[in-house]
Amino acid sequence: MTGSVWTRTPAQPPPREALSRAQVVRATVELLDEEGLAGLSMRKLGAKLSVAATTLYWHVQTKDDLLEYALDETYAEIDVPDPGLAGWRGAATLFAHSMRSTVIRHPWLPAVVNSRISIGPNAMALSTRAMAIFRAAGFTGRDVDNAASAVISYTLGFVASEVSWRTMVKESGKPVERWTEEAMAQAIPAAEAFPEIKDLLELRASSDPYAALNESFTFGLESLLDGFAVRLGP
C-alpha cells in the first residue's frame, strides 16, 4: 500500500487523460449499479467501454483504486443542507434521508464505504458540511464528531440491511408480495421453536414493506435526534 489515490501525485501530466479517467469512473459506477459489486470485473468494464481490460490499467493502478474513485463520485450525490436554513434538526434529518436514498440508488455502497480512508474531495466536502450541522446544534469539541458519527453509523447500518433486502427481492424477479409470502413460508417452520417470532413475522408481513421501512428508519432517526436534544439541554 503506497497510499491513497488522493495523495499520490499523478505520474503523467493531465493533458486530456483527466477526461478519460472520469469516463472510466463513470462507467464503473454504472456497471456497479447495474450488476452489483460482484458483477464488476475489469473485463466487463473494458467491454462496456469498448476497450481491452488491460487498457484500464493505464488510467487506474488497480481495481481497488477504481472503487475508491467510484465511492467518492457518489459522495457528491448526498446533500447536506445548511443548518442556517432548516435548523440543525431539519438539516440532520434531510442529510440522513439523502444519504439513505443515495445508498438505495447505489446498492454496492455499503460493501465499499468502509474499506478505505475516505479522503477524496467529495468526502472532505461532505464531512465539512456534516460537521457544521452538529456544531450548529450546540455540540462542541469531540461531541461534534460523536454526533455526526452516530447519525452516519445509524443510517449506514439501517440502509445496508434495507438494500440487501431490496436486492434480494429484485433479483428474485418476483413481485414484493410474492417474495414476502415465500420468505414467510421459509421462516415459519424454522421459527417453530420460537413462538414469539411467529407473531412478529405475521405483523411484518401484514403491511406494505416499503412503508414499514420508512417508518422504521424515521423511528430510529427521530429517537437518536431526540437523544441529542436531551444532551443539549432545554
Minimum gap (Å) between residue 15 Cβ and its own copies: 23
Q: Which is nearer to DNA, 10 or 175 (CB)?
A: 10
Minimum gap (Å) between residue 37 Cβ and DNA: 10
Place of cell 414467510: 184
Burial class (CB in 10 A: 0-12, 13-18, 19+), 103: buried
Pick the closest to residue 40 from 25, 19, 55, 20 (CA basis): 25
Taking CB under 8 A as the criterion, the residue among 6, 51, 98, 209 binding its own copies is 6
CB contact burial 36-56 (16+ within 10 A = b; e otherwise): eeeebebeebbeebebeeeeb
Taking CB under 8 A as the criterion, the residue among 15, 50, 186, 233 binding its own copies is 186
Taking CB under 8 A as the criterion, the residue among 58, 168, 170, 208 binding its own copies is 168
Taking CB under 8 A as the criterion, the residue among 1, 11, 13, 50 binding its own copies is 1
Q: Tell me how far CA of residue 98 lies from CA of 26, 28, 80, 152, 155, in angstroms.
A: 21, 22, 8, 11, 10
Q: Which does 15 bind (CB under 5 to 8 A by kind): DNA, its own copies, none?
A: DNA
**Is the CB of residue 105 less than 8 Å from the CB of residue 45?**
no
CB atoms within 10 A of CB 57: 13
Which residues sit at the interface with its own copies, rule CB under 8 A? 1, 3-4, 6-7, 110-111, 114-115, 117, 119-121, 124-125, 127-128, 131-132, 141-147, 149-150, 152-158, 160-161, 163-164, 168, 172, 183, 186-187, 189-191, 193-194, 196-197, 200, 203-204, 207, 212, 215-216, 219-220, 222-228, 230-231
Contact residues for DNA (CB under 7 A)?
12-13, 15-17, 20, 40-44, 51-55, 57-59, 62-64
